[in-house]
Amino acid sequence: MLGSLNSSSHDQEKEEALDLRYQQIPQAPSVAPRGTTSGFTSSAIHMRQLLNTCAERISQSDFSAAQRLISVLSASSSPYGDSRERLVHQFVKALSLRLSPHGAAMGSVLMNITNPPSGGGGGGGGVTGVASSAINVGSLIAGESEEALQSCYLSLNQITPFIRFSHLTANQAILEAIEVGQQAIHIIDFDIMHGVQWPALMQALAERSSNTLYPPPMLRITGTGHDLNILHRTGDRLFKFAQSLGLKFQFHPLLLLNNDHSSLPSAITLLPDEALAVNCVLYLHRLLKDDSRNLRIFLHRIKALNPKVVTIAEREANHNHPFFIQRFLEALDHYTALFDSLEATLPPNSRERLAVEQIWFGREIMDIVAAEGEDRRERHERFESWEMMLRSVGFTNVPLSPFALSQAKLLLRLHYPSEGYDLQILNNSFFLGWQNRALFSVSSWH
């Protein structure tokens, strides 16, 4: 695991960098604007048409034609080219995985994603085979290296504005929902990961108290996850950071395997005079299956806890469509915008970008394109779906403040100066995107 005592020197560097982030809130690498990549070359248009045709052939069960197209696309794409070549490379691997009936072949595809080559090179070859409806793609995708995924999450938080924007906006909503002078605050953070959201909130709480007659509140965080070791390390870092600010702090790890929330009410203890905030950043979509029963149960249980505020951040995309071809087309548009934003924000030789594209986004593309049924995890929905679901169980949308908007604009201006990032307000919520295409939404509920 990342940061373990027996980790490699590279992992130790990652661990030391994470500790530093708790001492000083992370700053994304500021680079000069490189312009936008909205223009489509004739080659890019042709490659996109071939991808669409390949997906259509798969949806029509014309697997031999699809395999021929994959061979052509594989020879014309590369993980080291421009944004369109890199995007095609990831989608070709996902389509190859969908076509392959052999676990060994699929495992080799995933191995290339989790451990990308260190040098440059040409396009990756397609996986030969015919389609099979019995492929358990989800279990293969879930078997990727946890160390690689955890490391990529830290890079994703650093080189793109989307997660930092979500954290910053959610933190401001929590601060504004909890009154000055509140003695105790309890935050339930669903899938806390490394807890990089909370040092900034701790600093804000300490600064707010220093400007009033009230002492800093007692802060408790219940962090959920699927790895107890990571949860404990996260809690230790947050505790040390809270100590450096003079904050009283407690951390409670809550292991949730397979997103099982059946024990949620009994696992959460609320103390008297404790204000509750529930944080769901890129989490709710995991509870969607072919129906929304799991999500409704979860939301009803959260509502029963009577939180002061529930903060929600999600992808602005419909990757939960039951038909493969619709999912594919939506994913192609969404990740085209994401890859273009990385192209304009980071230098061409960025190792962090390469890892994020191949491991983090590559894994998501694999899931959306290659997995079916219960195996699929990445079931992103648009804001309208979340709004309808939340209102149906009794939640009310709380408008995000002008100060939260100014903070988000400042984040983009200082650390992500490319002109393509687009911030909009709609239905009391914030939407951050690229070139007028919304990619992430953040909202606050009560």
* Three-class SS state of 299: helix
Which alpha helices (H) appear in 143-216, and where do they start and end? 146-159, 161-177, 198-210
What pLDDT is recorded for position 127? 36
Kindly state whether residues 146 and 193 are assigned to the same domain: no
What pLDDT is recorded for position 119? 38
Q: Residue 18: which pLDDT band, with cuts at 50, 70 and 90?
A: low
Residue with token string 């992992």: 11
What are the residues whose beta carbons fall under 8 Å from the beta carbon of 395, sequence distance 6 or more?
299, 303, 310, 445, 446
Which uninterrupted H or E stretch holds 437? strand 437-445
What pLDDT is recorded for position 144? 53
Does the structure show a pLDDT above 90 at 12?
Answer: no
What's the CA gap between 65 and 47, in Å, rounded? 16
Cβ-in-10-Å burial (0-12, 13-18, 19+) of 317 comes to buried
Kindly state whether residues 218 and 256 are assigned to the same domain: yes
Flag whether 305 is in a domain: yes
Total number of domains in the chain = 2
Flag whether 9 is in a domain: no
- Mean pLDDT value across the chain: 84
* Three-class SS state of 321: coil
CA neighbor of 379 nearest in space, from 338, 334, 319, 330: 319
End-of-domain residue from the set 375, 400, 415: 375
Does the structure show a pLDDT above 90 at 373?
Answer: no
Kindly state whether residues 384 and 368 are assigned to the same domain: no
Tell me if 179 sits within 8 A of 212, measured CB to CB: no
Containing domain of residue 404, as a range?
160-318+379-445
pLDDT tens digits, one per residue of 347-371: 888 999 999 999 999 999 999 999 9
Tell me if 127 sits within 8 A of 109, measured CB to CB: yes
Kindly state whether residues 192 and 62 are assigned to the same domain: no
Q: Which residues of 353-371 are buried (b: 16+ CB within 10 A; e: fewer)?
A: bbbbbbbbbbbbbbbbbbb
Kindly state whether residues 276 and 392 are assigned to the same domain: yes
Tell me if 77 sits within 8 A of 89, measured CB to CB: yes
pLDDT tens digits, one per residue of 57-78: 999 999 999 999 999 999 989 9
Which alpha helices (H) appear in 178-292, and where do they start and end? 198-210, 228-245, 264-267
Residue with token string 């915008």: 337
Flag whether 384 is in a domain: yes
What pLDDT is recorded for position 21? 45
Kindly state whether residues 195 and 338 are assigned to the same domain: no
Paired tokens of 39: 């223009």
Kindly state whether residues 194 and 306 are assigned to the same domain: yes
Kindly state whether residues 255 and 168 are assigned to the same domain: yes
- pLDDT over 90 percentage in the chain: 67
Tell me if 316 sits within 8 A of 283, measured CB to CB: no
Flag whether 10 is in a domain: no
What's the CA gap between 68 and 73, in Å, rounded? 9
Tell me if 256 sits within 8 A of 151, measured CB to CB: no
Q: Residue 146: which pLDDT band, with cuts at 50, 70 and 90?
A: confident
Give phi and psi for 277, each to the nearest 5: -125, 140
What pLDDT is recorded for position 28? 44
The predicted model gives 251-266 an average pLDDT of 86
- pLDDT over 70 percentage in the chain: 80
Kindly state whether residues 88 and 49 are assigned to the same domain: yes
* Three-class SS state of 141: helix
Does the structure show a pLDDT above 50 at 301?
Answer: yes
pLDDT tens digits, one per residue of 198-214: 999 999 999 999 888 89
Kindly state whether residues 181 and 307 are assigned to the same domain: yes
Q: Pick the more confident residue, 334 or 135.
A: 334
Flag whether 298 is in a domain: yes
Kindly state whether residues 311 and 248 are assigned to the same domain: yes
Does the structure show a pLDDT above 50 at 3?
Answer: no
Paired tokens of 63: 């697997």
CA neighbor of 206 nearest in space, from 197, 217, 196, 198: 217
What are the residues whose beta carbons fall under 8 Å from the beta carbon of 394, sequence distance 6 or more?
303
Kindly state whether residues 220 and 307 are assigned to the same domain: yes
